[in-house]
Chains A and B, each alone.
Chain A
Amino acid sequence: MNTPSPSAKKPAKTGGTRKAPVKRPSVKAVAKPVSVLIIGAGFAGLGMAIQLQQAGIRDIVILERADAVGGTWRDNRYPGAACDIPSNLYSYSFAQNPNWSRSFSGSGEILDYIHYLVSHFNLAPYIRFKQNVTGLNFDENAGLWHASIEGGDTVRARAVVMAQGPLSNAIFPDIAGLEKYKGHTIHSARWDHDYDFSNKRVAVIGTGASAVQIIPELVKQAGFVKVFQRTPGWVLPRPDFETPEWNKALFRKFPGTQDALRKALYVTHESMALAVIWNSPLTRIAERIGRLHLRRQVKDRWLRRQLTPDFRIGCKRVLLSNDYYPALQQPNCKLVTWPIDRLSEQGIRTAEGIEHQFDCIVFATGFDVCKTGTPFPITGLGGRALHDEWARGAQAYKSINVAGYPNLFLTFGPNSGPGHNSALVYMESQLDYAVRGIQKILDEDLKMLDVKADAQAAHNKAIQARLANTNWNSGCKSWYLTEDGHNVTMYPGFATQYALQMRTLDEADYRRTPMAGG
């Protein structure tokens, strides 16, 4: 694997005149409040720190619950883990990497890129590892957030950025008898690298984005693999190629060429919104490509039927794979579509009355995306609890602020999810917006910058009206929706529209309370 040596371009930022020295802020309760607390040291948290730093804000603490940076890419190290968006687009525009080894890089290479960000932008001094935040409370008299940390410490901060990541809490499926199974279990997001799969009988539960990457690798290693599928997803071909050396050299020598490729990829992905987000003639074409891919790779009619999705493409996450269908047809692999009844001591009982016995069960069952709550209690003005307010579905203003929780900025907040483009493109818009908000708080010495409830309500009314016409809300069950079918995760539009939405911080939509006499 190549060690990335990306060509970092320092974005020109204005307005940040603060010259705070980079020092290790203490995490003791008695310590002076910091300007910005960032929770999480994944792509979002580190990107936030870089952007704040570029804006001249260096009084930052990043609290990370694990002992390493990387977030999703640190946790998801299962065999075959890779990104579904081309690496030249799944990276920050202000820190491009000319050395990506493939068009869709693996998790190890992405993690290397994240480590590169830390070292190149000198972020290490900000980061505190093994600091698990257990609660956030806003002190409205002082205009400070108090972050409680497991073990008793507290960090106080003028502003907080939630960068804990939407895909950070692995979940196990709601299957009866889960505790009864006595064999080995592995969750895709907590891979057991010491487990030897050779000659083992392995079950994989789930056929989503992680599973289609894991299964081809497991089939190569294990004795026999049974894949338990509830709903087949749309699988499209993955145009994954090795990057020739001349290409890397070109990008290194003429960074403009990489910029041009990134822009071309961006526009291509934007056009995919027409197929994936809304029901259009392009949707039919995308579905036809999916069916052709299936027909070309699977000859058996019954297996093809089992793998044919019965929902509109885009309603659930679109999968990209060239080797998933061939892996399912290997002699040591079998697709099981019978409903799972329960887990027994030795395996999985399905409704056709058979107990499928295994040495190991791999749960590729995804994450708890916190659609109706918060990862830890967050208490805002007047003791209001965000968990309660979001009990029927999360909502925010422009995905980033929530009324009643001043000086709090969300990354990957409600209705910020892309279905067709790089999450990092959306992320950059959020980071820019948060920098503007935080600059305002610090420069104008605001005690509170709180979005108005009516502005938030108007924003959400418009978003929900637009979501009603999208493929995500066309009737399938997916992790994008709450139990009662409310879409709180996805942004119903182009990435360009989202960027426009985030380009201005409209002061009229905020209540500003100055520190003095506030």
Chain B
Amino acid sequence: MTSKTIKPFFLWKHLNKLRWLSLCTVFAMLIFLPYAHVYQTFEAAHAYDLLADSEKQLYDTMEAITSPFINDIEKDLDAIKGNTWSGTFFGYQLSDPLAALGQIFAGRSFYLPFLLTALVPVIFTIVFGRFFCGWICPATFIYELNTNVAAWLRRAGLKTGNRRFDLRIKYLVLAIGLVLSAITGSVLVAGIYPPAIVGREIYYAIALGGFGAGSVFFVITLLFDLLVARRGFCRYLCPGGALYSLLGRFRIFRIQRIVENCNDCAKCNAICEFGLDPLRDGFGQECNNCTACIAICPTDALTFKVRLSDVPNMGPGHLGKLYRRDKKDNGKQ
């Protein structure tokens, strides 16, 4: 028997680092932009001498950071505004698909210019699945760190929750959120969607002097993740995650197991933040292409494939004990 080893493309292994870079960049931008806004308002007031000492410090810091890139503070810093919920990026406006959907329900009408801003994210989601959840979402950044906190707590001997619920609860949350939006005539899904909350609350805290009501909700979700279910909010309750799951159901880029390389070590199942089952080819529409399983696989048995659906369970990995025993048994018969 010829055992031809299939090596996955070497970069896939490092995508997880790139993902963390992306998450950190997004989060850093969410902190930077409010400061940039405050800096702009100082500039607009034309009164550097009247600023308090702390404000002068902020002004000088921002000047040092931004002066290599911009000429006109008031105009040039307008290029990037907003957050991941809805933002302006060099003249192009991008919005979360959930914002567009929520607005359709709240206004019971279609406002095309705004819906078009959600077009690019929708196309990306159809191609890459829940990539937003793993690669951009500022709440994911905190939730994944929160998972590490849970690991430390467990190492210290404390109990953290790891219950499992029905994954379909989040579709119910999405439906209820949209119906409530339609009843009240206000986009209420924005109030229960962590990335929108995080972006807003950071802005409130920096530019308006204090966290708002949303931060309480966010802390509750953190505690829920810590004490009830690992990444529980994203997996079971997030309305945006539900929408992305539906849109990304037939995503083209998926992670897939190379059964010939797999040795059944189950590290992929342990690392998967979303509690999926890469070991038995169980990815489904929940996978957010975070590539943590690819990064941790010791035998390079996971790779990206261009496919419209997951393969059915391919059985135990060919490097594992189970497969060898099965083969021995078959050989005897």
Q: Do A and B come from one complex?
A: no
